[in-house]
Amino acid sequence: MSKQKGILFDATLCIGCGACYEGCKQKNKLTQTNKDFLSDHLSDDTYTTIELYGDIYARKLCMHCDEPTCVSVCPVGAFSKSETGAVVYDGNKCIGCRYCMQACPHKVPRYKWETAKPVICKCNMCDERIKIGKIPACAEACPTEATLFGDLDDIIQVAKRRIKENKRNYYPHIYGLEEAGGSHVLILSPVPFEKLGYTPHLPKEPMPMLTMNAMDKIPPIIGVGGLFLGGMFWLTKRKNQIAREEAGKKKELQNHESR
């Protein structure tokens, strides 16, 4: 694939219908929560949300950074950058260290605590759909083009043109174009982005560069990283096993007392 892809979310066009939310749920076979979609939050069963700030709707999802920090900090290569531009995750490689959750500048990845096998959950921009010529489920479901999908260069031009032609309607900035080195999800808004819950004041420098600069200063730690992570993985598994055993014993005791 010669051209990388991207998503543009325009808050001025969003009517809060929740079609993107439902489309993502259906495509990814995610459990429906008991919450109304406007009160739902990113979780292991919710990869995109619609949040209401005053009278403005804002979408939250993985930003699919150009140089993802989650990729740079993952010690086992569970995260990678697809040729489409999407940041994708391989749960078969994951050891549950959750470094990605701590490192993400947009605070997106979520951990599935209910399973014994560690799993990180987030939007993958429908990478497998893109590769066969389809568009992400959220963009396909949107009735107003508030969520627009296409070649990254094209949607950047669309975003710039919308601001230029309707200066009164837009805050004069494209969120995601430069933040943390740039991303494949871009946001337009009529107000400053921090008022819609987006992370403000991110550096323009890619975050992995900051990570590498920090790691260069602590080389002795790197040598024992594998042993440390292996030990943490074993301890996490053992802790989960003990918790399940204790829960089982407690349930048996409750059943016995109720007889």
Residues in the chain with pLDDT values less than 50 = 1, 214-215, 218, 220-224, 227, 234-235
What does the pLDDT read at residue 233?
Answer: 52
What does the pLDDT read at residue 176?
Answer: 98
Q: Which residues, 6 or more positions from 162, have their beta carbon under 8 angstroms from its beta carbon?
A: 10, 169, 170, 188
What does the pLDDT read at residue 28?
Answer: 96
* Helix H or strand E encompassing 28: helix 19-28
What does the pLDDT read at residue 100?
Answer: 94
- 103 — alpha (psi -120 to 50), left (phi > 0) or beta? alpha
What does the pLDDT read at residue 76?
Answer: 95
Do 97 and 208 lie in a common domain? Answer: yes
Do 143 and 185 lie in a common domain? Answer: yes
> What would you measure as the largest C-alpha separation in the chain, in angstroms?
74
- Distances in whole angstroms, Cα of residue 81 to Cα of each of 60, 65, 105, 113: 20, 9, 16, 25
What does the pLDDT read at residue 33?
Answer: 84
* CB neighbourhood size of 95 (10 A): 18
Do 75 and 136 lie in a common domain? Answer: yes
Q: Phi, psi (5° rounding) for residue 77?
A: 70, 30
Contact present, 149 and 86 (Cβ < 8 Å): no
What does the pLDDT read at residue 243?
Answer: 55
Residue 121 token pair: 């959950």
Do 63 and 100 lie in a common domain? Answer: yes
Do 157 and 243 lie in a common domain? Answer: no
Do 62 and 186 lie in a common domain? Answer: yes
In the block, residue with structure tokens 């489920």: 137
Per the structure, how many domains does the chain have? 2
Do 201 and 85 lie in a common domain? Answer: yes
CATH of residue 84: 3.30.70.20
Q: Do strands 185-188 and 5-10 pair parallel, antiparallel, or not at all (unpaired)?
A: parallel
Do 170 and 204 lie in a common domain? Answer: yes
Domain interval for residue 42? 5-213
Residue 28 token pair: 């990814």
What does the pLDDT read at residue 218?
Answer: 46
What does the pLDDT read at residue 224?
Answer: 47
Do 129 and 233 lie in a common domain? Answer: no
Distance CA 10, CA 254 (A): 53
